[in-house]
Structure 1
């Protein structure tokens, strides 16, 4: 069996969430001993690294930390994202040369299925596999904005960059990471490197099943998605068999006390980590307008229609 390469990137602030994501990967893996986890570190403290390492080893996985020179990213990092969020662009050059394929996960998600299933999906010669972003695709305003800023053709899909399957061989040969860096260095994109990735890989990426990156416009089933029959059908099917639950956007699971629908999955996998005794919840700096109750109602709506349909 092939070894499975999983990559996450983090600074010290997100170390706990790296451990939660890793725990979810390993707890749902049939063969955790075949999983190599690479953490691209932007100055994660030694104590935090030790907690992440103990979490992974206790669950049967293997882990390597790669201290990334995030100074190389200065000059184009923009918006609210940390430098670590952009390290995914450097994955092919930071990983060992023998790694020919990698799965990248954001740190604000949990994996609910065996990653071997995702690993075994053929990229069919494409350099990148990803999941469509229904938040962008279901919005006429956002599609117009993407057409004007990144040249996204009418009817073409746009992907979320929180989960990527990368052919590192092609990325190294064709220097795709540098192409994205050059692209976002000379533009101020609304969705930062995600826009840059979509611009560079337009017409050259493989859409993966929606269940492998379920973001808020899927798990809350807003009207703009619900009223589009094709998207509604795919969203409902994904929600019946979720593989990755991703809290993309402003509302993070650790900011609120445990709740049955919105963030119970995060708290479940937190208990398998060396961070299980930390003080929770951990509200963000800007909690204005954030309401767990609002999130709960949205998810109850989606839960109702998932069962009805």
Structure 2
């Protein structure tokens, strides 16, 4: 049995896109090297039956747990409990959010060793705005300050959507983060991410954006430079909702293909109404203009400098 796995955690609302990403992960990794696990939280029996069958057909391990198995935490916090949820043989894991697409070889990352107690994660995009004087940057800094983060801490704030972790160390980090959630829940804007940053900063290795590429980076021309393997659709709308900038039909077509191949999954794909589509189309055009204005120039240079100095690069040479 492999020593490393790629895993997803989801409630019923995100099972469909998580399954699509898991299929892509299976196609882009070696079976001898890694297993792909889809972990459902509080899934009804009928849905369990469908996903058990489809996962088995596609060499994906489908596991189900009750809400009580994660201490009735919100499903987005299930990643904090991965040491408890994963089968015993795995020593490392690559956790991936369900609103992602895998478009490149994962083996290169999964072969990368990790020091005991460490994990890899990308710096969150909003950290690159720290020190700037615009409404978004001020909002980010206000959020960071609520947790007592200094400006230097804020610049190291990481995104929890993709985590490459030493399992033994994650058990401790996850437990401490869950305890922090009980103390800071009312202050969290990004619940799992905020509490993980409170306890995990000293154990985190910076990771290339090739392994967690925010889709809006396409608006500032970074995709051909970074050559992403994992695309992360971080905000609404999502590509299974509709074809909208900054992605195109190549982003939404995988969901069309899967519902065409497995029509029993159609009811698990939520599509937006025409009215919402029009509203989001206008919103996305504005966001595209705004992001090009705010993220070009100095912020792009900060991102490129980060890429150059990341501990885990896309070529997997360690920094320092």
Aligned to 2:34: 35
Where 1:22 maps in the other structure, the secondary structure is: helix
Q: Note if 1:107 corresponds to 2:95.
A: no
CA distance in 1, matches of 2:162, 2:76: 12
Q: For residues 32 and 159 of structure 1, do their structure 2 counterparts lie closer, same or farther at Cα, with a shift above 3 Å needed?
A: same
Q: For residues 162 and 146 of structure 1, do their structure 2 counterparts lie closer, same or farther at Cα, with a shift above 3 Å needed?
A: same
Shift of 1:276: 7.8
Q: TM-score, normalised by structure 1?
A: 0.76
Aligned to 1:249: 235
The within-5 A match list for 1:212-223 is: 212-221=211-220
Shift of 1:85: 1.1
Q: For residues 33 and 97 of structure 1, do their structure 2 counterparts lie closer, same or farther at Cα, with a shift above 3 Å needed?
A: closer
* RMSD across aligned positions (CA): 3.4
Alignment check: 8 A CA contact 1:9 1:39 kept: yes
Shift of 1:3: 4.7
CA distance in 1, matches of 2:145, 2:245: 40
Shift of 1:193: 1.5
Q: For residues 186 and 101 of structure 1, do their structure 2 counterparts lie closer, same or farther at Cα, with a shift above 3 Å needed?
A: same
Aligned to 2:63: 65
Larger helix share, 1 or 2: 2
Aligned to 1:274: 262
CA distance in 2, matches of 1:22, 1:58: 13
Q: Note if 1:150 corresponds to 2:147.
A: yes
CA distance in 2, matches of 1:90, 1:125: 18
Provide the aligned length of Structure 1 versus Structure 2.
279
CA distance in 2, matches of 1:258, 1:276: 25
Shift of 1:183: 0.8
Mind listing any 5+ residue stretches in structure 1 that lack a counterpart? 78-82, 222-231
User: Which of 123, 127, 146 is the matching residue for 2:114?
Assistant: 123
Shift of 1:7: 1.3
Shift of 1:100: 1.2
User: Which of 113, 125, 143 is the matching residue for 1:134?
Assistant: 125
Mind listing any 5+ residue stretches in structure 2 that lack a counterpart? 131-136, 297-303, 305-320
Aligned to 1:292: 281
Q: Note if 1:11 corresponds to 2:8.
A: no
Shift of 1:198: 0.9
CA distance in 1, matches of 2:66, 2:163: 19
The within-5 A match list for 1:152-231 is: 152-155=149-152, 156-172=155-171, 175-187=172-184, 188=186, 189-221=188-220
Aligned to 1:93: 84
CA distance in 1, matches of 2:162, 2:55: 20
CA distance in 2, matches of 1:271, 1:84: 27
Shift of 1:101: 0.9
Alignment check: 8 A CA contact 1:3 1:35 kept: yes
